[in-house]
Amino acid sequence: MQERTPNIYSFKVKKVNGEEQPLSAFQNKVVLIVNTASECGLTPQLTELQQLKDEINNPDFEILGFPANDFGKQEPLEGSDITSFCEINHGVKFPVFDKIIVRGENAHPLYQFLSDKKQNAKLSSKPRWNFHKYLVNKNGELEDYFLPFTKPLNSKIKKKIQQLLNQNTQ
Catalytic residues: 40
Q: Is 138 exposed, middle or buried (0-12, 13-18, 19+ CB in 10 A)?
A: buried
CB 70 within 8 A of CB 102: yes
User: Where are any strands of DSSP class E within 3-159?
Assistant: 12-14, 20-22, 30-36, 61-67, 133-136, 142-146
Reference 108, options 35, 29, 40, 7; nearest CA is 35
